[in-house]
Structure 1
Amino acid sequence: MNSQDIFILAIESSCDDTSAAVLHNDKVLSNVVANQHIHEAYGGVVPELASRAHQQNIVPVVHQALAKANIDKNSLSAIAFTRGPGLMGSLLVGTSFAKSLSLGLGVPLIEVNHMQAHILAHFIEDPEMAKPEFPFLAVTISGGHTQIVRVMDYFEMEVIGETIDDAVGEAFDKSAKILGLPYPGGPLIDKNAAQGDPKTFEFPIPKVGGLDFSFSGFKTSVLYFIQKEVEKDPDFIEHHMNDICASIQDTIIRILMKKIKKAVKETGIRKVAIGGGVSANSGIRKAMQDAEKELGWQTFIPKFEYTTDNAAMIGIVGYHKYLKGDFTDETIAAKARFSI
């Protein structure tokens, strides 16, 4: 095995998806994700149930990732895993498994920050994806996070804007819940919005200083609006579902784009890469592409499989840390709160 043959097994277990991937250098050989549908009945992720499901899923998921990559575990160069941020119970399952496997195989252990991984997912070698050049702005939008990050190098990053309360994914999911849509509701709002008129209903844009975001007031305005309209017409949601979804989505996109445009203007960095589960939203992708044409940005959008929580993005961070010799040992502990 020469220096160009680095095989990383990556493990991601920060929330409710158990994932394992194998990378050969910066190329993904396999990326297996096991979803946990048990949370749908509760309208959100139940931490205790999530950690139990990870315990059930992790062995078969890792086994499948190795089999799909056609790699024997004894050929692995290192084990990379999500240390945080995330749900502590979920993180513990992945951390413990990665430590045990690293010890058993006698290969290095690499800790990964989940938020850095969403950003570095853009550096996975894939003919369908362009890689941003440094420096660039990364906009990470997911169920638990909303951040604008100035990225100077693979591991030199600065958060220049973030949510002061709820994440954008939560704004989508809670709005969907108010409309009686099942969990996770974000993709359903996106689907219905495609059939609706975004100018039908107006919701307020929160006034927040700097490059920070706020979505709690927006969620409250959606709740009060729906309650008021349903009082007048009990079938209001049913009759206007597509237009409501389109108006909600349009407002969220305008909140995001206002801050992204401000960040580009203030930093002078005209390369913008989006990541995280909400970057799969078709309206956000279109708004980013429109901005690219109108304002002369370079926009970088990952493939769908690298937007939601997945181990391939953990693996690409693991690869770059391996090149630096940035390893950890078995005393490492999971961290529920873990800043970039």
Structure 2
Amino acid sequence: MPERRGRSPVMHDVARLAGVSHQTVSRVLNAHRGIRPETEARVRAAIAELGYRRNTSARALVTHSSRLVGVLTTVPDHPDTARALVGIERALRAAGRTLLFAGTAPEELAASAERLFGHALEGCVALVPGQEGELAAVKGPPPTVVVDAPPAHAALTVRADQRGGAYALTRHLLDLGHRTVHHVAGTAPGHAARTEGWRQALREAGAPEPEAVAGAETGTETESGTGAGSGPGTGHTAGLVLAARRAAGEEVTAVLAADDHIALGLLHAFTESGLRVPGQVSVAGFGDRPEAAHLCPALTTASADPAEVGEAAVRLLLAEPEEREGAGANPEQDRAVTALLLPVRLRVRRSTGPPPARRPR
């Protein structure tokens, strides 16, 4: 057995003995997906040989915690919040922690955060829409992971790859044979990154870049967790605009909506205008809302699983500082900021297909 030299083993000792990086040891300890069985076996053997244990007692002394982890949200009724809570609770239960939940209105966020932080928390996961004023209210202590926050506003954040998801959806439509893809932009947090992904895919393909229909100009309704210009009414108004452009001779055969709610309004408008989806125009959304698979036609969309986002937030929160670089997929390092960028998966359904000229007769 390697010489201990009078001190307890640390993660770097395990990594050295197993012949892996300390990030790999972290991923094994955090039950991260994608670790090769033989690698995990070597790490587990090294842990057993060295007698390595995570220093959770020291953490508790430093943070004065009671093994409580708070979850704070301004969108308690949003479907994604419920799905994220499943992942958060599952990860906390596996880590021997207890969840303390606080759902509040945006205008009461600061007061709710102060009450929640008064419970000697080990840390907190914040599910807020990402507006600057709200993010300022949830900066700890205690350590706080903010879901979908811009890195500049939170030291720890877990984000879905909004830009990459929109890029992949646009590529999907171009690969079907559409000469270009129109876009209905939204105003909710993350929508700007989706617009950037759409533009990037068009430019890389050398495709025409049509003017986006701005959500803020076509609707004003506000939905829980979205914002003005980000609901079905927005999509309906934008769809009528695009249908009119098509009737005037513009080539409109594929549309990417900033989210599934906007896509729902697009489907309504195109049907109302006598356009078949996907026979004459393809429609894709973003978010994979529970109803997306049950629309007619079923909606092609993309999302990061909210439960996986919740689990990743807990892994990041509970990781030791030296572990955080390996706590999740695709870590982005920016000074003191640790941001985990989670992949977005496409859900290809019946609302997208080849353009009319490419369809088999």
TM-score interval, normalised by the smaller of the two chains: 0.3 to 0.5
| Structure with bigger gyration radius | 2
Higher relative contact order (CA 8 A, sep 6+): 1
Q: TM-score, normalised by structure 2?
A: 0.34
